[in-house]
Chain A
Amino acid sequence: MRTAVADDKDYRGKVHALSRDIMTDWMTELKDATQTNIPSAYLMISGNCVEILRCFDILPVFPEINALQLAIRKNSLPYIIKSEELGYASDNCAYVKADIGYTMCGGVGEGGNIPKPSLIVCNFVGCNVYIKWFEHCADMMNVPMVMLDIPFVREDRPSKEDVNYVLTQLKELITECEKLTGKKFDIDRLREILKHSARAEQGWTRAKELCKNRPTPFDSYFDSINMMGPINALRGTKEAADFFDQTVEQYEHMVEEGMGAAADEKFRIVVEGPPPYPYYRNFRNLFEAWGAVAVQSTYSTVGGTWEFGFCHDPERPLESIAEQMIVHNLCNRSMLERYKQIKSYVEDYEADALVIHSIKSCRLFSAGQGDMREYFTKELGIPTLMVESDLEDPRYYAEAQMKNRIDAFFESLSYKRIRAGAESEKGKVG
């Protein structure tokens, strides 16, 4: 039976359009800020503390989103090449290269689309490249940098000292923000902001949970990007919280109507690793052709793992910000924790297979994924496909090869399914 699905795929359209609208508003603010002196600050996505900036009306700027947008608009290569001329190696993270190249070509500051930041807040949450990237930005643009060193999760739970270290640094950030803006820190305002955060996070959790349904109302890898912008960059605003209410409403409606992300959901997959943004559509098509839909993805949790129950707590504002930065995001957790996360996705969302997209640029994700494949195929018996390209650099995407691998994988899954069906029929007859 074919799944009911809106003909023009407006299910994807509606949430996508809502997301695009609020993200465009923010980007317009960024563009406007290139002409004014309103304070702005660079921040990384993973486990960020955007609420603190918001509390001081500091406009948050995310160079990762800049890099992502350059790639998805198929515009990253010239900037990557520009950076390579400056000395970056072909093996360096291409997010860094695209962003720095863009900055050096005048994309940041007056005349560009992104304001020159007043402050660089390096939330070092997991990825060591973050530190270098922001050091380079600080050096090249001559902007002060604040370091938030977030201890990696290496025990069952963070120690008292881990939390205190982060709290001390958050307070030091607050002092910097006070200096920058001349405003006094207002904890009640932070609480209000965190209420918006929590509402958005609950929406996120609810939306993700809906992917347990058959068919899944949205593709939790490709469509999650519509939710990732609002949850990571706009968290703490009323607009982002409202967006999630509307998103959940839309997806709940789809579930009630039995509408799915795919015209005919044949395979439920979990995807690990970021997508190839320069070929986002092409890559998606390769899965859609097989009726393969992602019911969960690790990439969507780089900013936060809210689906496991965490929410910012307005009653414990700084403490809960610290907890999210340390524990409740994918980047600050070990590979083995990621194995557990994927395993639970496969089990709880009844997935048929795991797809690993290995990213040359991003060693945080990719280093050691061969072991992950080994673990899932050999120890857990979960069919696993591993393909390789890049999230930013179009030179590493080989469509024909990618298609061959994906086709061969789903062909063999289909065959296994047919055989299993035949076996069980035989069993019934016998």
Chain B
Amino acid sequence: MTSEQIVQHCRDVLELLPREALALAREKHPDIGGFGVFPVYAPLEIIHAAGLMPVGLFGAGDKVEISHADSRFQSFICSIAKSTLELFLRDEMDDFVGAVFSSICDVARNLSSLVQRNTPALYIEYLHLPQNMASAGSLDYTTAEFTRFRTNLASHLEREITDEAIGKSLVLYNKVRSLTRDLYGHRKHKPSSIDASDLYTVVQAGTRMMPEDFIPLLEQLLADMKTRKVHPRDGVKVVIEGSFCEQPPVGLIDVVEAAGCLVKDDDMVVGWRLFHEDIVANGDPVGAMAQAYLTGSVYTSVRHDRDNPRTVGLMNRMKNSGAEAVIFAPAKFCEPALLDYVLFRQKLDEADVPHLKVEFEEKMWTFEASRTELETFAESMLFD
């Protein structure tokens, strides 16, 4: 496949509902089951090692009309919670074994209860991911939490999930993550070598594929990127921040670029590419994953890390990517993103870094207001 074909394929995959993405994967892997993964992070390797395909549950974008979930979640709740619940209420997830949610925010936690009550046939897991990375008890706790998930899943499936199988899955996901890091790294140096919206499309589509099928696509894309002749474009070099859970419509990312911004780094789909480096298993894959969560993760708005504040994380992300401005793109009503914005903004103001906030909703399809704001912002920087 050429790069264009890969991107097109990924676009097509993103048009599918989770059930359809699972059906597509089953054409090649007839025996696999499906398991939903609500953002931000879950130990994918355990799910994969159980013979299941982890499928990112990033709501339903504009593909499903919300008719049931609106009466369950009030008007001031983010779209991803509503559209994810809608999928379950509409029996769209019935082909799945279950789904996993985690302690990212109060909405996600309550959502997991609602899903559990309304789809009793599915196995719904809730992980309490640690918020204390520095305690002497953190590693044992995190290892136990991942192990609890592994045990529960195995007993639900009545199937053993061996260390060996988790180790093999770890190798695959390490590969996915390292190739994604390489793509991001390459984009940092040559932002024109791939459109931000294309990279985003590919990475998100990867959450709906088996890793073994996704890896060749990433490899091909990376090889093409490296050899592609591009005309460097001018633009305001930006980092996109705040899209760690509900995902912005691809159209919005197009608008960011069309307005004259070059995206150097971002936090979209961050949970699926969370780690700085490969996780080395050394015989205890679950322990290694727990350790990586504690000390090898990039910062996100849903993880408190006393010794590595997110404000420093954002500054480093700016520095390392050579960005000169920040576009905050929080989902409407997203409490963690909107609260983090306050501290981020303060630090950026202190450092004299320009920034702009553009809120979105997953089902948004017209971007005129954002376009004008972004254009004004980019122009003011380019002609300053």
Contact = CB atoms under 8 A, between A and B. Distances in A.
Given A128-B105, A164-B140, A388-B74, A91 B335 contact: yes
Contact of B116 (A136, A162, A336): A336
A56 to B, nearest CB: 20
B128 A124 contact: no
Given A164-B141, A368-B113, A152 B126 contact: yes
A368 B343 contact: no
A88 B339 contact: yes
B117 to A, nearest CB: 6
Interface in B68-109: 70-74, 76-77, 81, 103-107, 109
B338 interface: yes
Nearest to B341: A87
Contacts of A88: 338-339, 342
A88 to B, nearest CB: 6
A141 interface: no
Contact of A369 (B74, B135, B309, B339): B74
B114 A368 contact: yes
Contacts of B340: 132
Given A334-B109, A358-B74, A374-B71, A87 B117 contact: no
Contact of A87 (B112, B148, B304, B342): B342
Interface in B116-161: 116-118, 126-128, 130-132, 134-138, 140-141, 144-145, 148
A307 interface: no
Interface in A112-163: 124, 126-129, 131-133, 135-136, 139, 145, 147-149, 151-152, 154-155, 159, 161-162
Contacts of A152: 103, 109, 126, 128
A335 interface: yes
Majority SS of interface residues in chain A? Answer: helix
Interface string B325-337: 0000000110110
B376 interface: no
B346 interface: yes
A92 interface: yes
Given A128-B104, A368-B73, A154 B345 contact: no
Interface residues of A, number: 53
B162 interface: no
Contact of A165 (B74, B77, B138, B332): B138
A89 interface: yes
B319 interface: no
B28 interface: no
B110 interface: yes
Contacts of B134: 147
A97 to B, nearest CB: 10
Contacts of B304: 124, 131, 135, 147, 149
B271 to A, nearest CB: 16
Given A147-B304, A358-B74, A367 B346 contact: no
Contacts of A168: 135-137
Interface string A240-256: 00000000000000000
A228 to B, nearest CB: 21
Given A91-B338, A132-B335, 5 more contacts: A87-B346, A89-B338, A133-B339, A136-B343, A155-B148
